[in-house]
A and B are shown apart, each in its own frame.
Chain A
Amino acid sequence: MSSDSMTSPFLEVRGVSVTFGGVAALTQVSLDVRPGEVTGLIGPNGAGKTTLFNVISGLQRPDKGEVQLVGRDVTKLGPHRRARLGLARTFQRLELFGSLSARENVQAGLDARRDKGGDLTAQGLLHRVGVQADADRQVSTLPTGEARLVELARALAIDPKLILLDEPCSGLDDHESQLLGGLLRELADEGRAVLIVEHDMPLVLDICDRIIVLDFGQVIATGSPDAIRQDPGVQAAYLGAANDPEAS
C-alpha cells in the first residue's frame, strides 16, 4: 500500500470526525499526503470530500481528531495561519474575488506573501495554468473553466507546499483537463504535495501516485491507482458508476 516511505508526510489527518446536525459527514478519517506526490481523493457525491478539505484548510472545525502540517498540530489554528505554513486550496464552488480582475486576484495572493511574490508575476502564473482570457477582465465574467484556472493560479501565488484542489476539471474540456493534469504532475515534481478531488476517473487514475477512497465519510481504501482499480469494494461503491460512459 505505502508508496514512498522515504519522505515524511506533509499533511497528516488523524481520526477526524465531523457531524452536521446528527448526520455524520466524516467518521474517523485518517490519511497522509506526501510531498512530491499527487494524491487523489475520490468518492461518490456527498462522501465528505469537500468537508474534509474544509477541515484541513481550517474552515471547518472537526468534532474529533486532529490535523497536522509538517508534524505540527494545527487543528486549532485559523485558515490564514495554516496558509502561512504552506497550505493552499481551491474551492468546488468558486471563491474568487468577484469584483477584481483575474490579474488582481492572483496579485492578491502574491501580496499576501512576505516577499510579495519574489520574481513571480500574476501574468506569469496565469500563463502557467493556461488562462487564455484577458487578465484584466473582471473574474465574475469569466466562463467557469477559466475562472477555476484563475483560482488555481491564485492558490499557486502563495507558493504552497501542499495544494488542495476541489474538482479542478469541472468546466474544462478534455484537452484542458489533460493540460491541467500535466501541470499537477509538474507541481508534484517540484516537490509540492498535491491533493486532488476529482470525478474525472481516467484523469485521476492517470496522474495520481496514490488514491484515497472515501465513502459515507469513511476511508474505504488507499493505494496505487492499479490497486484501487482492482479493489472490489471500491468498484462497488464508486468506480463502476464513474467508469460508466454515461457518467463521465
Chain B
Amino acid sequence: MTTFLTFTIIGIVSGSIYAITATGLVVTYTTTGVFNFAHGAVAMFAAFSYWQMTQSWMWPTWLALFLVLFVEAPLLALFVEESYMKRIYGATVVRSLMVSLGLLLILVGVAQTIWQPESRTLPEFFANSNVTIGDVTITYHQIICVIVAIVMAAGLRIYLRQFRSGIAMRAVVDDPDLLAMSGVSPRRVARSGWVLGFFLAALAGVLIGPELQLQGLDINLLTLLVVNGYAAAIVGRLKNLPFTFAGGMLLGLIEAYCIGYLPGHIPAALVSQIGLLTPVIFLFIALMLIPSARLRAVGRLAVARPPRVPTLNQSIRGGVAFVLAAWVVAMLLGGTLLANLTQGLALGIVGLSLVLLTGYAGQVSLCQLTFMGIGAFTMSKVADGGASWWGLIIGVVVCGIVGAVISLPALRLQGLYLALATLAFAQAAFYGFFSNTTFIAEGGAIPVGRLSVPGISLTGDKAYMVFCAVVLALAGIGVLAVRRSTWGRRLVALNDSPAAFATLGMSPTVSKMIVFAASASLAGIGGMLYAGQPLALSALNVQLFVGLELVLFVTIFGIRTVSGAVLGGLAMVLLPYASSQLPWWGIGLAGILAGVGIALMANVPDGILGIPWLTEHVRIPGIAGPSRRTEELADVQ
C-alpha cells in the first residue's frame, strides 16, 4: 500500500508538470497553428536562467521567479514571434516544423555557450520541508507542483472564458471568421498564444529543474523531458485542454507505476530505461489512437517551382566532378578533418534518403538516424564486427523491412502526427536499443569495419574518403534517376495531391510504404559507411538531436535537391569541427548557425539552393538541382 501511495504521488507530481507543459503546447498550437518543437528548449532555458539567478548570482527566489516567468519568457516569446514565427503562419507542416526545430537548436546552442558543462543543481522549493501521511512523505515541492498545475488549469479556464483576449483566443480555434468580425487582430491573438505558451514552458522548466537532483541540470535532458509533454498534448488531440490535462496526469501515473512495478517482470537491461521509454511508448500509442487521416481534396496547388532536375548525363558529369574534388581534398587533408569530412559524406547519403522521402514524397521522418544505426548494427552482426558485401546487402534488406513495418502505423498519419510518430520511434529505438547494453556492447559502441573493393585497399583514410564520395555520387545519381522515372513522378504527385493521386487508381498507402522502405535502406547504407570511418558507431551518433540537426541542415540547403543533401551532410561535420577549433564561445556554433539558417528559411521555403539570386547567377553543374525563381502564380480559384 505504501509503495502504491508513494508511486501515485510521484505520478501525480510529474503528471502535473506534464500537464503544464502540454497545456502550453496546445495553447500555442491552437492559436498559431505552429506546433512548437522548441517548447522543451524554452523550459530548459528558463530552468538554466533560474539557476543562474538564484544559484550563481544568489538573487532572491521571488525575484528570480518573477524575472524568469514574467519578463524573460514573454519577451523571448515576442522576440521569437516577431523574428521567425510570423512568417510561417499558414505554411506547410514541413516548413513550420523546421522553423520550430531551428528554434530548438538555437536555444540549445545559446544555452551551451552560456552554461558550459559543469554540475548544477537547483534546490527544491522549501527544501527539506515535508508532510508525512502514514508512511508516506510528501515534500512541499511536490505539493507546490500539484497546486500550481491546478491553479494553472483553473486560471486558464477563467482567462479563456472571461477575458476579452482569452475569448478571442478561443474564437481562433472555434471560428476564425467570428474572430475577424470581433475586430481582434489574429496577429494579436497569435502573440498572446506564444506568450502564454512560453510562460507555461518556463513554469514547467522551473518546476522540473529541482526534480533532477541526481542528474543535475542537463541541457539535452531538460529539453527532452518536456518532449514527454507531447504525448499528453496528443491525448487532447492538440485542442482539448481538459483532455490534455488528463493526458498529462495519466502519463505521469503510468510512468510512475511502470517504474514502481515493472522491474522484475521485464529484462533487467530495460529497467533503467523505463522512465525514458514509457512516455515515448505512450506517445506512440496516443498517436495510433488518432483516427486515420482521410484523403481530402484541399484545392491548394503546389506553387513553388520545383528544382530543375538534371539529366542523366549532367548528373553523371556532376558526380565525376564531385569524386575528383573529393580526391583532391583527400590528398590535401589528413587527421580529424579528413575523418570528419568522410563521415560528412556518409551523412550526405542519409540526407539523400530525406530527399527521397521528404523532398519528393513529402513524408516527414525524424527517425532516419535510427535506420542509419540499424544499417551499421546489421553490418556489424553479419560481418562479425567487420564489413562485407553480404553485410551491406542484408543491412539494406533489414532496413527496408524495418522501414516498411514502421511506416505501416505511420501511414495512417499525416504531417505533424507523422513527424511525432517517427520521433517517438527514434526515441524508443535509442533508449530501448542503441543505449542498451544487452544489444550493444558495454560503452555503447557497435564495431563496424570498412568494405573492401577487390584490388583496392580502403584501410587508408584517404582511400576510404574517396570511396565514400563514390558511393555518395552514385546514390545522388540514383536518386535523380528515380526522380526522372515513373516512380519519381508518382512520389511528387503523391506529395502534391494525395486525393488526386488516389482517384487515378494508385494506392497512397503502398506508395508511401515503398518510399519509406527505400529511404530507410539508403539511410542504412549511409550508416554503414559512417561507422566504417572510425570503425564503430556509438549510440551518441544516432541521438535524436543529431537527427533533427541533419533534417534541419538538409532543409536549410534544400531538401528537394541532391546538392542540398550533400551540403547538409557536410555542414553536420564541418560546424562541430569549426567549433572545436574556436575558443569557448564556439561550443554552440552549430546550433546557432542552424537557427540563423532557419531564420533565412522562413523567407526562402526552398532552402539556400532555392534563393532566387543564387539560382540565377550560379549553376552548380550536374549534381545540383537549383530551383528556378518561384513565380507569382496564376490564382487558381
The docked-state distance in angstroms from the alpha carbon of A87 to that of B505 is: 9
CB neighbours (8 Å) of A155 from chain B are: 503-504
Q: Other than A78-B507, A83-B502, A98-B496, give 16 A-B pairs with Cβ distance below 8 A.
A: A58-B503, A59-B297, A78-B502, A79-B503, A80-B507, A89-B503, A92-B299, A95-B497, A97-B497, A98-B497, A99-B305, A99-B492, A100-B492, A105-B493, A108-B490, A140-B634
Name B299's contact: one of A95, A105, A140 (CB within 8 Å).
A95
- Among residues of B, the one whose C-beta sits closest to the C-beta of A111 is B486
Residue A3 CB within 8 A of the other chain: no
The 5 closest A-B pairs by CB, nearest first: A93-B299, A98-B302, A83-B505, A79-B502, A95-B500
Residue B489 CB within 8 A of the other chain: yes
Asked if B493 and A97 make an inter-chain contact with CB atoms under 8 angstroms apart, the answer reads yes
Asked if B296 and A59 make an inter-chain contact with CB atoms under 8 angstroms apart, the answer reads yes
- Among residues of A, the one whose C-beta sits closest to the C-beta of B299 is A93
Most buried by A among B493, B500, B502, B503: B503
Asked if A142 and B506 make an inter-chain contact with CB atoms under 8 angstroms apart, the answer reads no
The docked-state distance in angstroms from the alpha carbon of A239 to that of B313 is: 60
The docked-state distance in angstroms from the alpha carbon of A104 to that of B504 is: 13
The docked-state distance in angstroms from the alpha carbon of A157 to that of B501 is: 13
Asked if B499 and A112 make an inter-chain contact with CB atoms under 8 angstroms apart, the answer reads no
User: Nearest-CB distance from B81 to chain A (Å)?
Assistant: 30
Interface string of A67-110 (1 = CB under 8 A from B): 00000000000111011100111011111111110001101110
Contacts A59-B296, A113-B505; A108 near B634 (Cβ below 8 A): no
Asked if A79 and B295 make an inter-chain contact with CB atoms under 8 angstroms apart, the answer reads yes
Residue B637 CB within 8 A of the other chain: yes
- Among residues of A, the one whose C-beta sits closest to the C-beta of B493 is A97
Asked if A111 and B505 make an inter-chain contact with CB atoms under 8 angstroms apart, the answer reads no
Residue A144 CB within 8 A of the other chain: yes
CB neighbours (8 Å) of A112 from chain B are: 504-506
CB neighbours (8 Å) of A92 from chain B are: 299
Of residues 444 through 464 on chain B, the ones whose CB sits less than 8 Å from some CB of chain A are none
Jot down 16 A-B pairs with beta carbons below 8 A, ordered by A.
A59-B296, A60-B294, A89-B503, A94-B299, A94-B637, A96-B301, A97-B492, A99-B492, A100-B306, A108-B501, A112-B504, A112-B506, A142-B634, A144-B634, A155-B503, A158-B504
Asked if A80 and B496 make an inter-chain contact with CB atoms under 8 angstroms apart, the answer reads no
Name A104's contact: one of B303, B489, B502, B503 (CB within 8 Å).
B489
State the main secondary structure of chain B at its contact with A: loop
Name B503's contact: one of A57, A138, A144 (CB within 8 Å).
A57
Asked if B302 and A95 make an inter-chain contact with CB atoms under 8 angstroms apart, the answer reads no
The docked-state distance in angstroms from the alpha carbon of A79 to that of B504 is: 8
- Among residues of A, the one whose C-beta sits closest to the C-beta of B500 is A95
Asked if A59 and B505 make an inter-chain contact with CB atoms under 8 angstroms apart, the answer reads no
Residue A143 CB within 8 A of the other chain: yes
Contacts A94-B636, A96-B497, A100-B492; A158 near B304 (Cβ below 8 A): no
The docked-state distance in angstroms from the alpha carbon of A37 to that of B497 is: 30
CB neighbours (8 Å) of A210 from chain B are: none
Asked if A140 and B489 make an inter-chain contact with CB atoms under 8 angstroms apart, the answer reads no
CB neighbours (8 Å) of A99 from chain B are: 302, 304-306, 492, 495-496
CB neighbours (8 Å) of B635 from chain A are: 144
Asked if A93 and B497 make an inter-chain contact with CB atoms under 8 angstroms apart, the answer reads no
CB neighbours (8 Å) of B634 from chain A are: 140-144, 147
The docked-state distance in angstroms from the alpha carbon of A109 to that of B501 is: 9
Asked if A83 and B636 make an inter-chain contact with CB atoms under 8 angstroms apart, the answer reads no
The docked-state distance in angstroms from the alpha carbon of A95 to that of B299 is: 6
Residue B508 CB within 8 A of the other chain: yes
Asked if B297 and A95 make an inter-chain contact with CB atoms under 8 angstroms apart, the answer reads yes
Residue A178 CB within 8 A of the other chain: no
Asked if B490 and A111 make an inter-chain contact with CB atoms under 8 angstroms apart, the answer reads yes
Asked if B303 and A98 make an inter-chain contact with CB atoms under 8 angstroms apart, the answer reads yes
Residue A34 CB within 8 A of the other chain: no
Asked if B505 and A84 make an inter-chain contact with CB atoms under 8 angstroms apart, the answer reads yes
Name A100's contact: one of B295, B496, B633, B637 (CB within 8 Å).
B496
CB neighbours (8 Å) of A100 from chain B are: 306, 489, 492-493, 496
The docked-state distance in angstroms from the alpha carbon of A109 to that of B637 is: 23
Of residues 121 through 165 on chain A, the ones whose CB sits less than 8 Å from some CB of chain B are 138-144, 147, 151, 154-155, 157-158
Asked if B505 and A91 make an inter-chain contact with CB atoms under 8 angstroms apart, the answer reads no
Asked if B302 and A140 make an inter-chain contact with CB atoms under 8 angstroms apart, the answer reads yes
Residues of B within 8 A of A (CB): 294-299, 301-306, 486, 489-490, 492-493, 495-497, 499-508, 631, 633-637
- Among residues of A, the one whose C-beta sits closest to the C-beta of B560 is A99
User: Nearest-CB distance from B176 to chain A (Å)?
Assistant: 15
Name B496's contact: one of A59, A79, A97, A142 (CB within 8 Å).
A97
The docked-state distance in angstroms from the alpha carbon of A88 to that of B489 is: 19
- Among residues of B, the one whose C-beta sits closest to the C-beta of A100 is B492
Asked if A109 and B633 make an inter-chain contact with CB atoms under 8 angstroms apart, the answer reads no
CB neighbours (8 Å) of B506 from chain A are: 80, 83, 112
The docked-state distance in angstroms from the alpha carbon of A217 to that of B637 is: 24
User: Nearest-CB distance from B632 to chain A (Å)?
Assistant: 10
CB neighbours (8 Å) of A98 from chain B are: 301-303, 496-497
Asked if B306 and A93 make an inter-chain contact with CB atoms under 8 angstroms apart, the answer reads no
- Among residues of A, the one whose C-beta sits closest to the C-beta of B496 is A97
The docked-state distance in angstroms from the alpha carbon of A80 to that of B303 is: 25
Contacts A78-B507, A109-B504, A112-B505; A138 near B305 (Cβ below 8 A): yes
Residue A224 CB within 8 A of the other chain: no
CB neighbours (8 Å) of A83 from chain B are: 502-506
Asked if A147 and B497 make an inter-chain contact with CB atoms under 8 angstroms apart, the answer reads no
CB neighbours (8 Å) of A89 from chain B are: 503
The docked-state distance in angstroms from the alpha carbon of A54 to that of B295 is: 10
User: Nearest-CB distance from B485 to chain A (Å)?
Assistant: 10
User: Nearest-CB distance from A108 to chain B (Å)?
Assistant: 5
Asked if B301 and A154 make an inter-chain contact with CB atoms under 8 angstroms apart, the answer reads no
Asked if B492 and A91 make an inter-chain contact with CB atoms under 8 angstroms apart, the answer reads no
CB neighbours (8 Å) of B502 from chain A are: 58-59, 78-80, 83
The docked-state distance in angstroms from the alpha carbon of A99 to that of B294 is: 23
Asked if A79 and B499 make an inter-chain contact with CB atoms under 8 angstroms apart, the answer reads yes
User: Nearest-CB distance from B505 to chain A (Å)?
Assistant: 3
CB neighbours (8 Å) of A58 from chain B are: 502-503
CB neighbours (8 Å) of B299 from chain A are: 91-95
Contacts A93-B637, A99-B306; A108 near B301 (Cβ below 8 A): no
Most buried by A among B301, B305, B492, B507: B301
The docked-state distance in angstroms from the alpha carbon of A207 to that of B474 is: 56
The docked-state distance in angstroms from the alpha carbon of A69 to that of B490 is: 26
CB neighbours (8 Å) of B507 from chain A are: 78, 80
Asked if B503 and A80 make an inter-chain contact with CB atoms under 8 angstroms apart, the answer reads yes
CB neighbours (8 Å) of B505 from chain A are: 80, 83-84, 112-113, 158
User: Nearest-CB distance from A209 to chain B (Å)?
Assistant: 24
CB neighbours (8 Å) of A79 from chain B are: 295, 499, 502-503
The docked-state distance in angstroms from the alpha carbon of A97 to that of B362 is: 13
User: Nearest-CB distance from B304 to chain A (Å)?
Assistant: 7
- Among residues of B, the one whose C-beta sits closest to the C-beta of A144 is B636
- Among residues of B, the one whose C-beta sits closest to the C-beta of A57 is B503
CB neighbours (8 Å) of A108 from chain B are: 489-490, 493, 501, 504
Asked if A140 and B633 make an inter-chain contact with CB atoms under 8 angstroms apart, the answer reads yes
Most buried by B among A138, A140, A144: A140
The docked-state distance in angstroms from the alpha carbon of A84 to that of B503 is: 9
The docked-state distance in angstroms from the alpha carbon of A58 to that of B508 is: 13
- Among residues of A, the one whose C-beta sits closest to the C-beta of B637 is A93
CB neighbours (8 Å) of A78 from chain B are: 295, 502, 507
The docked-state distance in angstroms from the alpha carbon of A107 to that of B306 is: 18
The docked-state distance in angstroms from the alpha carbon of A112 to that of B506 is: 6
Asked if A141 and B631 make an inter-chain contact with CB atoms under 8 angstroms apart, the answer reads yes
The docked-state distance in angstroms from the alpha carbon of A71 to that of B499 is: 25
Asked if B301 and A94 make an inter-chain contact with CB atoms under 8 angstroms apart, the answer reads yes
Most buried by B among A57, A98, A151: A98
Asked if A59 and B294 make an inter-chain contact with CB atoms under 8 angstroms apart, the answer reads yes
CB neighbours (8 Å) of A93 from chain B are: 297-299, 636-637
The docked-state distance in angstroms from the alpha carbon of A99 to that of B490 is: 12
User: Nearest-CB distance from A190 to chain B (Å)?
Assistant: 19
